[in-house]
């Protein structure tokens, strides 16, 4: 499976849209896309995950990497994660580092 990554800077936040599966083969591309963002100056990073069918521990590590590089008060928001992916994020305790929302509408 492949992973399509679209990265866009917006006024006040950055959006990464993912499509496909995030596994050990595709996570390096996600990590590369994250390193292209000036994370230390990013107050809000939104990752759209509606079209992600699978997220491995390598993908989780990429999210942890991003959050660690961002300012402490910043927000890393995962949008539209499937129930199974959201469940894994909750069980691993990552909800202390990332925010899960169902859609962009929840962000106002």
DSSP letter string over 66-99? HHHHS-TT-EEEEES--HHHHHHHHHTTGGGT-E
- Contact 58/64 with Cβ under 8 angstroms? no
Tell me the per-residue pLDDT of 26-71, one tens digit each, with 9 for 90 and over.
999 999 999 999 999 999 999 999 999 999 999 999 999 999 999 9
Q: Report the relative pairing of strands 99-101 and 75-79 from DSSP bridges.
A: parallel
- H or E element in which residue 32 lies: helix 27-35
Tokens of 88: 């894994």
Asked if the 3-107 domain carries CATH number 3.40.50.300, the reply is no
pTM of the model: 0.94
């Amino acid at each position: 499976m492949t992973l399509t990554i679209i990265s866009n800077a917006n006024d006040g936040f950055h959006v990464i849209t993912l499509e496909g599966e995030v596994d050990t083969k595709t996570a390096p591309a996600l990590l590369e896309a994250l390193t292209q963002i000036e994370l230390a100056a990013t107050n809000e990073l939104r990752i759209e995950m509606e079209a992600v069918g699978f997220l491995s521990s390598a993908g989780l590590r990429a999210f942890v990497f991003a959050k660690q590089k961002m300012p402490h008060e910043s927000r890393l928001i995962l949008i539209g994660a499937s129930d199974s992916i959201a469940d894994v994020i909750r069980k691993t305790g990552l909800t202390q580092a990332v925010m899960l929302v169902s859609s962009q509408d929840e962000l106002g």
